[in-house]
Structure 1
Amino acid sequence: MNAPILEFQDVWKTFGNDKTKLDALKEIDLEIEENSVNLILGPSGSGKSTLLNLISLMDTPTKGKIFIKGKNTLNMSKSERSKFRRDEIGIIYQRDNLFPYLNILENVMVPMIVKDKEKAIKLLKIAGLTKITEFPDEIHIVEQQQTALVRAAINNPSILIADEPTGELNLEAADKLMNLIKSVGNKSTVLIASNNQDLDKYCDNIFYIKEGMILENK
């Protein structure tokens, strides 16, 4: 068993005040092994996106501790969190979220810590993308998601997060993207949030979430 790269200890996330209080996450105890592919499976509104927001350091828990690579994220300053997110975490959204005024190559190069055009072109080729001077609205939605994946993986992140990455794709396109996620992210720990049970065949571990609680995993 590999050492955990991510650990949640009794994590809660609450929104609102006493009158409108909503516990989006409750009693989350979770360990994610390094270099594993993990599916967080649950229906809409179950807490998947809230969980990903905490992992990506876009938000902080109301209660509990979160450790990434052995570091207590609650002890990080705002600037430290921003730097850690840039250096260690890549994110793929349900919709590609590309910049419409930049071409495919330029989009991929935006988050690069060290600008390396040749590296960007190489990763795009690995992903099967050749229309690198075209703009997002000029390519197919599958290619848009592939571009978003390459952009998320461009800095070799320790953690690669995908929030409903196949939500708008057909079965064939979803299969292609999921295999690409495993290929491009083979040096990363991958976390995929989805309500699609069929994605379990691509993953090492499955965590079921309902009403803000992790029910079981296998």
Structure 2
Amino acid sequence: MNNALLEFKEVWKTYGNEQTKMNALKGINLSLKKNSFNLILGPSGSGKTTLLNIASLLDTPTKGKVILGDKHTSNLSKTERSKIRMNEIGIIYQRANLFPYLNVLENVMLPMISKDKNKALELLKSMGINETSQFPEKLSAEDQQKVALSRAMINDPSLILADEPTGELDTDSTNVIMKLIKDIGQRCTVLIVSNNTDLFEYADNLFSLKEGIIIKK
């Protein structure tokens, strides 16, 4: 029985033409188990964002296969990939990327497939956010990320992807957010890409990415 939730099989991503060709990913093989917490560490320019864009189905590999659950995603149409992304993937960024003209509750409910105010309120409460009528500008950076986490979880995804989710937080806030993400990892598969080596203590599986090549640590 295959217990993998996300698999990369010999994934290459190449940009440019024959004269300007640049391989951002070079034959990546990666297998993430269901309900696991995974961290990929790498410097700027190592291919982290490219890998995350492919994992989130925002981009497709030049060569190789990406499998999410039992779905071979590499050859799907944009519409099919968008549907999977909405139903099965939650994404968290370095900046919370909340809509400034929507309050906390509205931001979390925005991507909901089945609108359920009580579900959104309970999710926010579990993240420590009780005041849901405030607008993002009134929130601390930590609370903005808590709202972003709630939004990423609102459709009960099987996969959470995070790009430097603590990049703009201080040490105390980083610990708070990472503990919340660690808890999320009990319910779904989590993949974080970062250059912050202090995050390794939270990971079940640690990988290193350098110049488009990945190594399990």
Task: Report what 2:171 is aligned to.
Answer: 171
Task: Report what 2:40 is aligned to.
Answer: 40
Runs of 5+ unmatched residues, structure 1: none
Instruction: For residue 54 of structure 2, give the secondary structure of its aligned residue in structure 1.
Output: helix
Instruction: For residue 20 of structure 1, give the secondary structure of its aligned residue in structure 2.
Output: coil
Cα RMSD (Å): 1.2
Task: Report what 2:25 is aligned to.
Answer: 25
Task: Kindly provide the amino acid, as one letter, of the partner of residue 216 in structure 2.
Answer: N
Cα pair 1:160 1:189 within 8 Å, conserved: yes
Task: Report what 1:113 is aligned to.
Answer: 113
Task: Report what 1:69 is aligned to.
Answer: 69
Task: Report what 1:180 is aligned to.
Answer: 180
Task: Kindly provide the amino acid, as one letter, of the partner of residue 217 in structure 1.
Answer: K
Cα pair 1:2 1:34 within 8 Å, conserved: no
Q: Could you state the TM-score of these two structures normalised by the residue count of structure 2?
A: 0.97
Q: Partners in 2 of 1:154 and 1:52 — Cα distance?
A: 20
Per the TM alignment, residue 185 of structure 1 is displaced from its structure 2 partner at its CA by 4.3
Task: Report what 2:216 is aligned to.
Answer: 217
Cα pair 1:150 1:184 within 8 Å, conserved: no
Task: Report what 1:139 is aligned to.
Answer: 139
Q: Partners in 1 of 2:216 and 2:138 — Cα distance?
A: 41
Between 73-82 and 171-180, report the one with greater CA deviation: 73-82
Instruction: For residue 90 of structure 1, give the secondary structure of its aligned residue in structure 2.
Output: strand
Instruction: For residue 74 of structure 1, give the secondary structure of its aligned residue in structure 2.
Output: coil
Are residue 199 (structure 1) and residue 166 (structure 2) matched? Answer: no
Task: Report what 1:130 is aligned to.
Answer: 130
Q: Partners in 2 of 1:29 and 1:139 — Cα distance?
A: 40
Q: Percent identity?
A: 59
Per the TM alignment, residue 2 of structure 1 is displaced from its structure 2 partner at its CA by 6.8
Cα pair 2:36 2:185 within 8 Å, conserved: no
Deviation sequence 1:87-106 (CA, Å, 0-9, x none): 00000000000000000000
Cα pair 1:92 1:165 within 8 Å, conserved: yes
Q: Partners in 2 of 1:10 and 1:184 — Cα distance?
A: 29
User: Does the C-alpha gap of structure 1 residues 179 and 141 become closer, same or farther in structure 2, counting only changes over 3 Å?
Assistant: same
Q: Partners in 1 of 2:104 and 2:118 — Cα distance?
A: 14
Q: Could you state the TM-score of these two structures normalised by the residue count of structure 1?
A: 0.97
Per the TM alignment, residue 207 of structure 1 is displaced from its structure 2 partner at its CA by 0.9
Q: Partners in 2 of 1:185 and 1:150 — Cα distance?
A: 14
Q: Partners in 1 of 2:201 and 2:8 — Cα distance?
A: 25
Cα pair 1:153 1:185 within 8 Å, conserved: no
Q: Partners in 1 of 2:76 and 2:131 — Cα distance?
A: 40
Q: Partners in 2 of 1:74 and 1:196 — Cα distance?
A: 30
Per the TM alignment, residue 198 of structure 1 is displaced from its structure 2 partner at its CA by 0.9
